[in-house]
Structure 1
Amino acid sequence: MVALLERINEILFAAVLIVSFSLLTYITLQNWRSDIVRALGVLLTGVIIAYSGDLLLSRAQRPETIEFLGRAQWLGIVLVPAGYIHFANALLSFGSANALAQRWRKSVYAAYIASLVIFLLVVLGTNLVIHTGTPSGPIARFKAGPIFWFYVLFFGLATISALIAILIVRRSALTPAQQRRLNYLGATFAAPGIGVFPFLLIASPNMVPLTLILALQAIASMIVIVMVTVMTYSVAFQGMLIPERLIKQDFVRWWLYGPFVGISTILFIQAVPVIAQYLGLPPETLITFGVMVMTVLMPIFVTQVKPYLDALIYRQDHSEIDYLRNLPRNMFTRADLRALLENSLVAICSALQVQTGFVIAPGEDGFSVKAIWGSRRAIRRFVNEHPIVELLPQLERMPYDASTSLDSGSFVVVSTFCLLPLRSPDGIFLGAIGLEATTEHLQRNGGMSPEMRRMVVGLAHQIELALTTVQMQRQIFDALRGLAPEMESLQKLSSRLEQATPATLSSLEDDIVLHPDFPQLVKDALSQLWGGPKLAESPLLGLRSVRRLLAEQGGSPTRALQAVLRQAIANLRPDDQIDPSAQEWLLYNLLEGRFLRRQTVRDVAHRLAMSESDFYRKQRIAIEEVARQIVLMEEHEYENSSGRG
C-alpha cells in the first residue's frame, strides 16, 4: 500500500509541476505587465520550486543529496508568503483602495527581504529554521528550528492579508462578472499555501500513520491542481481589454495543449513498467511505441474535443460562432476565382477550337487580365496595342440581352480578338472574355450544336456568377472593415466596464479611444497636423500617450499630439523587404505624402497612379489604420499604468 501511494504521489507531484509551469508560462506571455499577474507568477514559481524538490527527494538516496534538496526547495517555500503580500497589494491597487495599497507598498519590499533572510538561513546550513531530523521512511527528513515559528507567523499573516484584500476588492466590484471571478479567487487563493507549507515540521510523522500522510499528500496535490487552475483563470487577464469568451477559449486551449497533454504523457510513462512486466517486454521498447502513438493520437484527441468545449464556452453565441468558424471553407476566394476563370476559359476555347483567350475581371486596382489560355505573347501584344481602359467603355455600352449569347451580335471585334462582355443578372458590367478569332471564324468553326452552345453559354454564366459573388464579398468585407473600429471600441468598453471599480469608473468617460467617432477625430487632427483649430482643440489632447510626451515637447499639448500622430504613421511603415506595390506601402505613402509632406490630393493621387475617387477610399482605410495604431499605443500606456499601480 505504501509503495502504491508513493507512486501516486510521484505522479501527482509531476502533474502539479506541469500544470503550474504551464500556467506560469501562459500568464507570462499573455499579461505580464499587470502587477497582479506578476504577483501570481511569484506564487506559481514558489509552487514549482517546492514540488520540484519533493519530486527529486522522492528518488534521492544519498544523505548529502537529501540535505541539499531539502534546503534548496525552501526557496519556493519562502517565496509564497512574500508572493501573497505582493498579491494583496496588487489587488488593492487595482481596486478602490489605492491609498491603502500605497501604504502597504513598503510591506511588499519588507516581505521579500524577510523571505530572502529566511532562505539564506536555511541554505547556508544553519539550524535556526530547520535542521536534520531522524529519517522516518520516505517522509520525515527535517525538524523545526527556533526561527521556524517566525516563518509560521509570517506565512499566516501573509495568507490573511491576501484574503482581506480579496474581500475588500470584492465589495468594491461593480459587475456580476467581476464579482464572480473574485468569488473564484476567494475560494482558491490558498492553493499555493496548501501546496508548499511544510506541515510535517509541525506535526511529527510518528504521531500519524504513514499511509494517511501519503494519502493526504495525494489529496492535497489534486486540490492544488484544480485550485491553482481556477485561481490563475480568475486573475490572469485582469486589465486586458478582450471579451470574456475569448479569455475562456484561450485558457481552455492552452490547458488542453499544455497540462492535459503533459499529464497524459506522464501517466503513460509511469504505466510503462507495469505494462512491460505484464507483457514480458523491455520498457524501452514500449516507451518507443508509446511515444509514437501519443505523438499522433493526442493532437487528434485535442482537435476532436475542442469543438465540444467551444460549444460550452459559446453557449449563447453557438450558431454565430459555428457560422464564422466554417466561413473560410464556404468563401469564394481570389484563388478560387482564378481557378474557375482558368478552367472555364480552357473549356470555352476548346469547345470553340480557339487557340488563345483571356478573361478581363475587376480587382482592387481596377480591371485587368485575370486568366490566360494559349499564347501569352499574343495577349500581351494585344493589351499593349489596345489598353484595357480604352476597351472597357465600348464593351460596357453594348446592349444587354440575357436571352442571347455567343452569336455575332454578342461580340466586339478588336484586331484579331473578339470580346464577349460579362454582366451580372441585373445588367452590371463585370468584365469580358477575349478570344483570338474573328466572328466569321466563330461562325464557321463554331456552327455549334445546341448542346455545345448551351455548355459554352453555361460556362460564361458561371464566370458571371463568380464575378458577381466576389464583388458582393468585397463589399461585405469593406463594410466589416469600416465597422472594425466601432466593434473594437465596443469590445474594449465592455471589458472596461466588466472590470470597473469605483476608482476606475470615473476615468471611462475621458477615454477617447472608446468613442465610436474616434477615427473621425483622428482624421480631423491629421487634416490640420501642421496647425489649426481642429488640432489645437482636438479631444485627442487627452490621450495618455499625449500626456506622456508633454515634458519632451516643452509642455505643449499640440506638439505632443503632433508627435503621437507622426509616430502612429511611422508605425505603419512596412519593412523594406515588402514589395513596393503592396497595399501596406500604398497606405503609408498616401499618409506620408498627404499629411507629413502636405501635398495636394491631386499630386498624391498622381504619384500613386490612382484616381481621386480611389484616393479618398484608400485614405479612409489609411486613417483607420492610424486610429488603430493610436489605440494600440493607448493600450500600451494603460497596461503600463496598471502595472505600475
Structure 2
Amino acid sequence: MLDTLLSGLKFINQLLTAGIAITAFSLLLYALTFNLRDRVARSFALILMCVVIVFVGDAISSIVDSHQMLQLWLQFEWIGIAFLPACYFQFSEALLATTGRPSYGSQRWAIWLMYVISSGFLATLPFMLLVGPLVPDVFPAPHLQRTWLTWVFAIYFLAVMSWSWFNFWRAYQRTVTPTSRRRMRYLINGALAPVLGSYPFLLFGSSLATNHPLLFWLVAVLNNIFVVFLIIIMAYSVAFFGVSWPDRVVKRRLFKWLMRGPVTASSVLAITTLVRRVGESFGFEYSAAVPIVMVGSLLLFEYAITLAAPLWERWSFQGGDKSNLLLVQNLNERLLTTGDLRQFLESVLAAICDRIQAPNAFIIALNAGDLELMVNIGDTPPIHEMSDGLNHVATQNGNGNGLFIWDNFWLVPLHSQRTNEEVLGILGIARKPESILEDDQKEAVLFLAERAATALEDHVQQQEIISSIETLSPQIDMIQRLRAASRYGDTNVLTAPEIPLESPDVVRWVKDALTHYWGGPRLTDSPLMGLNVVRKTLEEHQDNPANALRAILRQAVDQVRPEGERRFTGEWILYNILEMKFMEGKKVREIATRLAMSEADLYRKQRVAIDAVATAILEMEQKVRADKKLR
C-alpha cells in the first residue's frame, strides 16, 4: 500500500515538474514577446531561464535509466541554480529603479560581480567541486553529494537572496497607489517560487528524506503546486511593466496566453502520460490510444477555451465602462468596411437588375463633390466620361425622391436618412428607349435604393468615427504611456518636459499633419506641436503654432528633395509625391498618371516618403535637444 502511494506521489511530482518547466518557458516567451524593452521584464526573463533550466533537468533526470545520464542532467540543473542569485539581484535593482530610485555605478558593478562569482562557481562543476558525484541507489531519490564548496555556495545564495528581498521591500515602500502596492505584494510573494522550486534541498536533508519518504514526496508535491501558483502570480505582476496597455488588456492577454499555452500543454501531457502508464500496467508497451488521446484532448481543450473566452472577456471588463468597452471590442465584427459595403451594394444592384430585367446598373458615391464608382453590373461608361453630366444632374434633381431619366439611364438620388437633403450617391439603371417601369417595379427600385442609401450613410458615419479615433490616437497613446510609466510610483515622468518619441507615433503624426497641411485639426491639434524644434520657430511665425509646424514640415520635405532642378524621374519620386499630394493637393489618380505608376505603387511610395519626412523631423528634434543639453 505504501509503495503504491509513493509511486503515485512520485508520478504526480514528475507531472508537476514538467508542468513547471512548460509554464516557465511559456511565460519566458510571453516576456520576450510583449515587454522585452522593459528592464524589469528582461531581468524577470533571466530568472525564468534559470527556472526552465532547473526544471527541464529535473524532469528529464526523473525518467532516465543510465547513471551517467542521470548525473549529467542533475549537473545541468546547476547551470540555472548558479546564476539564479545574480539574476535575482539584477531583478531587484531593476524593480527599485522602476519605482523612482535610479541605479548608481556601485549597484551596476555589484550586479556584474555577482555574475562573475556565479560563473566562477559554475566553472568548478565539471571538476566535482561545486557538487560531488552521483549517489544513485538511495531512497527516496538519487542526488549529488554535497562538498565544502556547496556550503560556500549556499551561504552566497542566502546572502544575495536576502539582499534582493531587502530591495524588494524598499521598492514596496516606494509605491504609493493601492493598485501598485497590491501588485508589488504579489510580486514579492511570487518571487519565492524560483527559490523554493530550484534549490536542491535534498543535498542537505537526504537522511531525513530517507527515513520519511512519504513525508518527502508529500512535501515535494505540495511545494511544486505552490511553485506553479507563485510563478504565475509573479508573472502577472511583471506583465504590467514596460507596456502602455490598459490593465484589462494585460490581464486578458496573459490569461489567454496561460490557457492556450501551459494549461493546455501540461494537461495534454498529463492525460497522455496517464494513458500510457495505464497501457503499460496492462502489458501494452505501446498503445494506439496514446496519439488519439493526445490529439483529442488538445482539440477539446482548445474548444473549451474558445467557448470560455467570452466569459473571461466580460470578467476583465469590470466597472462602469463595461458596456462601452464591450461595444468597442465588438466593433471589429460589426464594422461595415468598404469591401462589405461593395458586397452589399452589389447585392442591391443584382436584385434591381433581376426585378426589372436591366442589363447593367451602377452606384456612385458623392464625396465632397467627387464621384466614386462603388459597384457596377454589366458595361458601364468610365466614371470620368460621366462625371460632368452626373454632377449636373445630381445638382438639378438631387432634391427629388423619385426616378428621373438621364441619357440611357434611370437615376435615383440616394439621400441621407437623417436629413433627407444631403445626396450621398446616385443609383443608375440602364433603360431601353421609351421603356416604362410598372408601379410595382418602381416601388421595388425605390425600396432597394433606400437600402443602398442607408448602407452608404452608415459607412460615411463609420469613416467619421474612424477619423476621430485616428485624431485622438496620438493623445491616447501618450496618456497610456504616461499612466504605465507612473504605475509603480515614478511620478516624475508626468512632469517631464519632454516625452520620449517613438518612431511609429511620429510617422502617424507626420502623416496626419501633412494631410491637413493647409489647415485642419490634424495640423492644429497635432502632438508635433510639443516638439522643441517647433517651439523654437514660434517667434519666426508670430507665435502661431500651426505656421511653425507647417514650416518644419516644409523644411523636412525639402530635405527629401534631390539636388538640382525638379524632374519627374525615379530619384525624384518621393519628393514629387509629397509635393503633389500634400502641398499642391492633387488627387491620387492625377498623381499616379503624372508619375506613370499604379495607385497601389503610389501608396507604397507615399509611405516611404512620409517615413523620410518623419526621420528628418526626428533628426532636427534630436539636434535641438542636444543643443539644449550643451547650454
Asked if these proteins are the same fold (TM beyond 0.5), I'd say yes
Instruction: Map 1:126-165 onto structure 2 (within 5 A).
Output: 126=129, 129-133=131-135, 135-165=137-167
Question: Which residue does the alignment assign to 2:584?
Answer: 601
User: Residue 136 of structure 1 aligns to a residue in which SS?
Assistant: coil
Structure-2 change in CA distance of 1:520 and 1:57 (3 Å): closer
Report the equivalent of 1:180: 182
The residue number in structure 2 matching 1:576 is none
The 5-angstrom pairing of residues 578-589 of structure 1 reads none
Residues 321-361 of structure 1 deviation map (CA, whole Å, 9 limit, x = unaligned): 32223323333332232223222222223333322222222
Aligned to 1:192: 194
**Amino acid across the alignment from 2:447:** G
1:522 deviates by 9.6
- 1:112 counterpart = 2:100: no
Provide the secondary structure at the position in 2 that maps to 1:431. Answer: strand
**Aligned-residue offset at 1:192:** 0.7
Q: Is the 8 Å Cα contact of residues 356 and 373 (structure 1) preserved in structure 2?
A: yes
Following TM superposition, by how much is the alpha carbon of 1:629 offset from its aligned partner in structure 2, in angstroms? 6.7
Q: Which residue of 1 aligns with 2:449?
A: 460
| 1-structure distance, mates of 2:249, 2:350 | 46
SS at structure 2 position matched to 1:372: strand
Note if contact 2:264-2:301 (Cα within 8 Å) is conserved in structure 1.
yes
SS across alignment from 1:98: coil
Change (3 A) 1:29 1:315: same
Structure 2 counterpart of 1:440, one-letter code: E
**Equivalent position of 1:551 in the other structure:** none
Which residue identity does 1:95 align to in structure 2?
A: T
In structure 2, relative to structure 1, the CA distance for the partners of 1:365 and 1:147 (3 Å cut) is farther
- The answer for the alignment partner of 1:82 in structure 2 is 86
- Identify which of 352, 366, 384 aligns with 1:348: 352
Post-superposition CA distance 1:214-259 (Å, at most 9, x none) = 1111111111111111112212342322222211111111111111
Give the counterpart letter for 1:412 in structure 2.
Answer: I
Q: Higher relative contact order by CA 8 Å / sep ≥ 6: 1 or 2?
A: 1
For residues 629 and 453 of structure 1, do their structure 2 counterparts lie closer, same or farther at Cα, with a shift above 3 Å needed? same
1:314 corresponds to: 317
1:417 aligns with 2:416: no
Distance in 1 between the 2:181 and 2:575 partners? 48
Per-residue deviation at 1:24? Answer: 0.8
Q: Which amino acid aligns with 1:411?
A: F
Q: Is there any run of 5+ residues in structure 2 with no aligned partner, and where? A: 519-527, 537-547, 561-572, 594-602, 623-631
In 2, Cα distance between the equivalents of 1:481 and 1:97? 36
Corresponding residue of 2:207: 205
Q: 2:552, 2:398 → 1: CA distance?
A: 54
How far does the alpha carbon of each residue in 1:35-70 deviate from its partner, in whole angstroms, 9 at most, with x for none? 322221222122111112221221222222222222
Supply the distance in 1 between the matched residues of 2:317 and 2:33 (Cα, whole angstroms).
24
Mapped contact 2:239–2:250 kept (Cα < 8 A): no
- Cα deviation for residue 429 of structure 1 reads 1.3
Q: Does the CA contact (< 8 Å) of 2:398 and 2:423 recur in 1?
A: no
| Whole-angstrom CA distance in 2 between matches of 1:178 and 1:542 | 36
2:342 pairs with 1:338: yes
Deviation at 1:260, TM superposition (A): 0.9
How far residue 474 of structure 1 moved from its aligned partner, in angstroms, is 1.8
Give me the whole-angstrom Cα distance separating, in 1, the residues matched to 2:33 and 2:453.
48
1:16 aligns with 2:17: no
Instruction: Answer yes or no: is the 8 Å Cα contact 1:418–1:438 preserved in 2.
Output: no
Assess if the C-alpha contact under 8 Å between 2:398 and 2:413 holds in 1.
Answer: no
Tell me the equivalent position of 2:65.
61
Partner Cα distance (1:290, 1:519) in 2:
53
**Equivalent residue number for residue 543 of structure 2:** none
- Are positions 1:541 and 2:538 aligned together? no
Indicate how the Cα distance of structure 1 residues 399 and 96 shifts in structure 2: closer, same or farther if over 3 A, else same. closer
Structure 1 residues 250 and 272, CA gap change in structure 2 (3 angstroms) = same
Whether the 8 Å CA contact 2:89–2:111 is kept in 1: the answer is yes
1:280-295 residue pairs with structure 2 within 5 A?
Answer: 283-295=286-298
Q: 1:35 aligns with which of 20, 36, 39?
A: 39
**Secondary structure of 2:434's match?**
helix
Counterparts of 2:347 and 2:286, CA distance in 1:
57
Alignment of 1:624-635 (within 5 A): none
Superposed displacement of residue 272, structure 1: 0.6
Native 8 Å contact 1:84 1:161 kept in 2: no
CA distance in 2, matches of 1:422, 1:589: 40
Q: What's the Cα RMSD here?
A: 4.1
Deviation at 1:164, TM superposition (A): 0.8
Distance 1:628 1:189 in 2: 47
| Aligned-partner Cα distance in 2 for 1:261–1:210 | 31
Matches within 5 A, 1:217-256: 217-256=220-259
How far the C-alpha of 1:148 sits from its partner, in A, is 1.2
CA gap 1:602/1:345 in 2 versus in 1, 3 angstroms: closer
1:435 aligns with 2:438: no
Distance 2:460 2:203 in 1: 74
Does the 8 Å CA contact 2:400/2:413 hold for their aligned counterparts?
Answer: no
Aligned letter for 2:578? E
Give the alignment of 1:249-264 within 5 angstroms: 249-264=252-267
Deviations 1:424-466 (A, max 9, x none): 241211222223325621x2xx2x1x43332222112212222
Distance 2:363 2:223 in 1: 71
Give the aligned residue type for 1:351.
R
Identify which of 19, 23, 29 aligns with 1:25. Answer: 29
Q: Is the 8 A contact 2:348 2:452 kept in 1?
A: yes
Q: What amino acid maps onto 1:303 in structure 2?
A: T
Specify the code of the residue in structure 2 equivalent to 1:488.
D
Identity %: 21
1:369–1:602 Cα change, 3 Å: closer
Count of aligned positions: 560
Partner of 1:554: none
- Tell me the equivalent position of 2:394: 395
Check whether the contact 1:86–1:108 (CA below 8 A) recurs between aligned residues: yes
Quickly say closer, same or farther: Cα 1:214–1:605, change in 2 above 3 A: closer
Aligned partners of 1:129 and 1:292: how far apart in 2?
42
Question: How far apart are the structure 2 equivalents of 1:63 and 1:309?
Answer: 47
**SS of the counterpart of 2:57?**
helix
